[in-house]
A and B are shown apart, each in its own frame.
Chain A
Amino acid sequence: DAGITQSPRYKITETGRQVTLMCHQTWSHSYMFWYRQDLGHGLRLIYYSAAADITDKGEVPDGYVVSRSKTENFPLTLESATRSQTSVYFCASSDPTGGDYGYTFGSGTRLTVV
C-alpha cells in the first residue's frame, strides 16, 4: 500500500537492549524525519535525512542512531535503551519540490522501556 508505515506499532524492551524502529515510505520523498512525542514536550525532532546517505541531528539525538541507505527506508536505532526513551515515536516524510504541504506522518510506534 502507498504511504508511510512504521513497525512495530508497540514494543516493550528492557533497559540496555538495542532496539530498531522501522519506517518505510512509498512516495520517494527526499526528506524523512524521526520525532518523539512526550507529555509536556510535544513533538521533538530526533534526526532527519535530506536524501539517501545524508542524515543530520535534530533537537534530541543523544542515544539514537539512524541510517538511510535507501530513499524509502529510515530506521531509528536505540543503541542501549533507557527508561527515559519510553515514548511515542513518529516517522514523517516530505517532498519540498511538491509544494509546501508540511509532512505526512506514520501511525507511530509506542515504545516502553522497562
Chain B
Amino acid sequence: RKEVEQDPGPFNVPEGATVAFNCTYSNSASQSFFWYRQDCRKEPKLLMSVYSSGNEDGRFTAQLNRASQYISLLIRDSKLSDSATYLCVVRMLGNEKLTFGTGTRLTIIP
C-alpha cells in the first residue's frame, strides 16, 4: 500500500463549481500535512498547510481527519487558473522528509 494515496483524476469541472479532493495516508505517525499545486512542466509549490482544526485560505479549505487518516481539499467558485495537479503531502513525526502522493489532475472548463 502506498504511503499517500490520491485519486489521479482527471477531474473536469465547470468554472464556478466546487470541487473536492481526498487523500489517504497509511502511517499514523504522520505529523504534518500539506497540499501542493503543480502546473504543467513546473515545480510543485506549496498551496497550504493542513491543520488539525481545519483551515481556510480564500476559496480553499483544507481538512484533516486523523482518526480516518485522510486529508481533503475543497475549492469553491473554481477559476480557470485553478487548473493544475494537486499533490497531497505528509511528513512523519521527527522527520524532515516529505512523502508525496502522485497527484490529482484538475481541469476547469470555461
Contact = CB atoms under 8 A, between A and B. Distances in A.
B36 interface: yes
Give the interface size class of chain A: 20 to 34
Contacts of A90: 43-44
B62 interface: no
A107 B43 CA distance: 5
B46 A102 contact: yes
B22 interface: no
Chain B contact residues: helix, strand, loop or mixed: strand
Chain B residues touching A, range: 10 to 19
A42 B103 contact: yes
A96 B32 CA distance: 12
A108 B102 CA distance: 17
B64 interface: no
B34 A42 contact: no
Contacts of A104: 46
B49 A41 contact: no
B49 A100 contact: yes
A106 B97 contact: no
B73 interface: no
B96 interface: yes
A48 interface: yes
Contacts of B98: 102-103
Contact of B49 (A31, A35, A96, A102): A102
Contact of A107 (B42, B89, B96, B102): B42
Interface of A: 31, 33, 35, 40-43, 45, 48, 50, 58, 90, 94, 96, 100-108
23 contacts: A35-B100, A42-B87, A42-B100, A43-B44, A43-B87, A45-B97, A48-B96, A50-B96, A90-B43, A90-B44, A94-B96, A100-B32, A100-B49, A100-B91, A101-B46, A102-B36, A102-B49, A102-B91, A103-B46, A103-B98, A104-B46, A105-B45, A107-B42
